[in-house]
Amino acid sequence: MSRAELVSICWELKIECKDKSIDEMKQLIREFADKNFKRRSKISGSKMSLTLRKFLSKEYDFKFYNKNKEEVNYKGNKV
């Protein structure tokens, strides 16, 4: 993920990211996700930006499903 994408995710989640490195931003996003999104509960992806959904699925193996209960793949691999 690019720095610009991580900054936009931080803004979306209302995380302070000024003067943070890429690794620090990734860690802050991870901490926010661990605290606020339960891995086994259903998360509404419609309330998240595409960038955030891609980040969570690529970096931390979050899974998202459409309303037909089919897995939506943001990793670039076929499901």
Q: What is the pLDDT of residue 74?
A: 76
How does pLDDT run across 13-40, given as a tens digit for each residue?
999 999 999 999 999 999 998 888 766 6
Contact 13, 56 (CB under 8 A): no
How does pLDDT run across 29-75, given as a tens digit for each residue?
999 988 887 666 666 677 788 888 888 888 887 888 878 888 887 76
CB-based burial, 50-74: b 16+ in 10 Å, e otherwise: ebbbbbbbeeeebebeeeeeeeeeb
Quote the pTM value: 0.75
Q: What is the pLDDT of residue 8?
A: 94
